[in-house]
Chains A and B, each alone.
Chain A
Amino acid sequence: MTEESAREEWRRLFAAAPMRTGKFTTMSGIPLAPVYGPDDAEFPGLYPYTRGVHASMYRTKLWTMRMFAGFGTATDTNTRFREIIRAGGTGLSTAFDMPTLLGLDSDDPMSLGEVGRCGVAIDSLVDVRDLFAGIDLATITTSMTINSPAAVMLALFVAQAEDTGVTRDRLGGTLQNDILKEYQAQKEFVFPPRQSMRLVRDTIAFTTAEMPKWNSVSVSGYHIREAGSTAVEELAFTLANGFAYVELAQQAGLAVDTVAPRLSFFFNAHIDFFEEIAKYRAARRLWAKWMKEHYGASDLRSWQLRFHTQTAGVSLTAQQPEINIARTAIEALAGVLGGTQSLHTNSMDEALALPSEKAARIALRTQQIIANETNVANVADPLGGSWFVEELTDEMEREAEIIFAQISKMGEGSMLEGCIRGIEENWFQGRISDSAYELERSFNSGERVVVGVNEFLEGNNEDDLATLRITNADEHKQLARLNQVRADRDDDQVRTALERLSREASDPELNLMPALIDAAKAYVTVGEMMTALAGVFGRHVEIPSL
Chain B
Amino acid sequence: MNVRVLVAKVGLDGHDRGIKVVARLLRDAGMEVVYTGLFQTPETVATAAIQEDVDVVGLSMLSGAHMTLAPLVVEALRERGSDIPVVLGGIVPPQDLDELRELGVAAVFGPGASAEEIISKINGIVSHSR
In contact, A542 and B38 (Cβ under 8 angstroms): yes
Give A112 to B115 CA distance when docked, in angstroms: 30
Binary per-residue interface labels of chain B (59-79) against chain A in the complex, 1 for a CB within 8 Å, 0 otherwise: 000011101110000000000
Q: Quote the shortest CB–CB distance from A487 to chain B (angstroms).
A: 26
Q: Which A residue's beta carbon lies closest to that of B7? A: A546
- Any chain A CB within 8 A of the CB of B17? yes
Residues of A within 8 A of B27 (CB): 546
In contact, A110 and B94 (Cβ under 8 angstroms): no
Q: Which B residue's beta carbon lies closest to that of A539? A: B39
Q: Quote the shortest CB–CB distance from B17 to chain A (angstroms).
A: 5
In contact, B64 and A118 (Cβ under 8 angstroms): yes
Give the residues from 10 to 24 in chain B that come closer than 8 angstroms, CB to CB, to chain A: 11-17, 20-21, 23-24
Give A188 to B94 CA distance when docked, in angstroms: 27
Contact of A114 among B11, B36, B114 (CB under 8 A): B11
Give A532 to B106 CA distance when docked, in angstroms: 41
| A113-B67 contact in complex given A351-B91, A440-B115, A444-B115, C-beta closer than 8 Å | yes
Residues of A within 8 A of B13 (CB): 98, 114
Q: Quote the shortest CB–CB distance from B94 to chain A (angstroms).
A: 6
In contact, B12 and A104 (Cβ under 8 angstroms): yes
| A113-B65 contact in complex given A187-B16, A546-B33, C-beta closer than 8 Å | yes
Contact of B36 among A226, A432, A544 (CB under 8 A): A544
Give the residues from 31 to 66 in chain B that come closer than 8 angstroms, CB to CB, to chain A: 33, 35-39, 41, 63-65
In contact, A437 and B20 (Cβ under 8 angstroms): yes
Give the residues from 443 to 461 in chain A that come closer than 8 angstroms, CB to CB, to chain B: 444, 453-454, 460
Residues of B within 8 A of A111 (CB): 12
Give A102 to B93 CA distance when docked, in angstroms: 25
Number of interface residues of B (CB under 8 A): 36
Q: Quote the shortest CB–CB distance from B104 to chain A (angstroms).
A: 16
Q: Quote the shortest CB–CB distance from A334 to chain B (angstroms).
A: 22
Residues of A within 8 A of B114 (CB): 444, 453-454
Give A6 to B21 CA distance when docked, in angstroms: 49
- Any chain B CB within 8 A of the CB of A201? no
| A110-B38 contact in complex given A187-B16, A227-B17, A437-B21, C-beta closer than 8 Å | no
Give the residues from 477 to 517 in chain A that come closer than 8 angstroms, CB to CB, to chain B: none
| A110-B12 contact in complex given A353-B91, A440-B25, C-beta closer than 8 Å | yes
In contact, B23 and A546 (Cβ under 8 angstroms): yes
Most chain A CB within 10 A, of B20, B69, B93, is at B20
Q: Quote the shortest CB–CB distance from B108 to chain A (angstroms).
A: 12
Most chain B CB within 10 A, of A101, A117, A463, is at A117
Give A102 to B9 CA distance when docked, in angstroms: 15
Most chain A CB within 10 A, of B12, B16, B38, B93, is at B12
Contact of A187 among B11, B15, B33 (CB under 8 A): B15
Q: Which A residue's beta carbon lies closest to that of B18? A: A436
Give A187 to B13 CA distance when docked, in angstroms: 8
- Any chain A CB within 8 A of the CB of B112? yes
- Any chain B CB within 8 A of the CB of A195? no
Give the residues from 94 to 135 in chain A that come closer than 8 angstroms, CB to CB, to chain B: 98-99, 101-102, 104, 110-114, 117-118
Give the residues from 155 to 210 in chain A that come closer than 8 angstroms, CB to CB, to chain B: 182, 186-189
- Any chain B CB within 8 A of the CB of A384? no
Residues of A within 8 A of B41 (CB): 110
Residues of A within 8 A of B63 (CB): 98, 114, 117-118
- Any chain A CB within 8 A of the CB of B30? no
Give A352 to B112 CA distance when docked, in angstroms: 10
| A546-B35 contact in complex given A110-B12, A351-B91, A444-B115, C-beta closer than 8 Å | yes
Give A72 to B52 CA distance when docked, in angstroms: 38
SS of A interface (majority): loop
In contact, A436 and B21 (Cβ under 8 angstroms): yes
Contact of B12 among A102, A227, A440 (CB under 8 A): A102
Residues of A within 8 A of B37 (CB): 541-544
Residues of A within 8 A of B65 (CB): 98, 112-114, 117
In contact, B68 and A113 (Cβ under 8 angstroms): yes
Residues of A within 8 A of B15 (CB): 187, 227
- Any chain B CB within 8 A of the CB of A467? yes
In contact, B11 and A353 (Cβ under 8 angstroms): no
Binary per-residue interface labels of chain B (81-118) against chain A in the complex, 1 for a CB within 8 Å, 0 otherwise: 00000000001011100000000000000111011100
Residues of B within 8 A of A444 (CB): 25, 114-116
- Any chain B CB within 8 A of the CB of A261? no
Q: Which B residue's beta carbon lies closest to that of A320? A: B112
Q: Quote the shortest CB–CB distance from B93 to chain A (angstroms).
A: 6
Q: Which B residue's beta carbon lies closest to that of A186? A: B14
| A352-B111 contact in complex given A110-B11, A111-B12, A187-B14, C-beta closer than 8 Å | yes
Give A249 to B39 CA distance when docked, in angstroms: 31
Give A354 to B93 CA distance when docked, in angstroms: 10
- Any chain B CB within 8 A of the CB of A470? yes
In contact, B17 and A98 (Cβ under 8 angstroms): no
Give A361 to B65 CA distance when docked, in angstroms: 26
Residues of A within 8 A of B16 (CB): 187, 227, 433
Give A353 to B68 CA distance when docked, in angstroms: 16
In contact, B20 and A318 (Cβ under 8 angstroms): no
| A98-B12 contact in complex given A113-B69, A544-B35, C-beta closer than 8 Å | yes
Top 7 A-B residue pairs of the complex, sorted by shortest distance between their CB atoms? A113-B68, A187-B14, A544-B37, A117-B64, A113-B65, A98-B12, A318-B111
Q: Please list the residues of chain B having a beta carbon within 8 angstroms of any beta carbon in chain A.
A: 11-17, 20-21, 23-25, 27, 33, 35-39, 41, 63-65, 67-69, 91, 93-95, 110-112, 114-116
Given contacts A352-B111, A440-B25, A453-B114, 4 further A-B contacts (CB under 8 A): A98-B13, A189-B14, A353-B93, A544-B36
Q: List 12 A-B contacts (CB under 8 A).
A: A98-B12, A98-B63, A99-B12, A110-B39, A110-B41, A318-B110, A318-B112, A352-B93, A352-B111, A353-B91, A433-B20, A544-B37
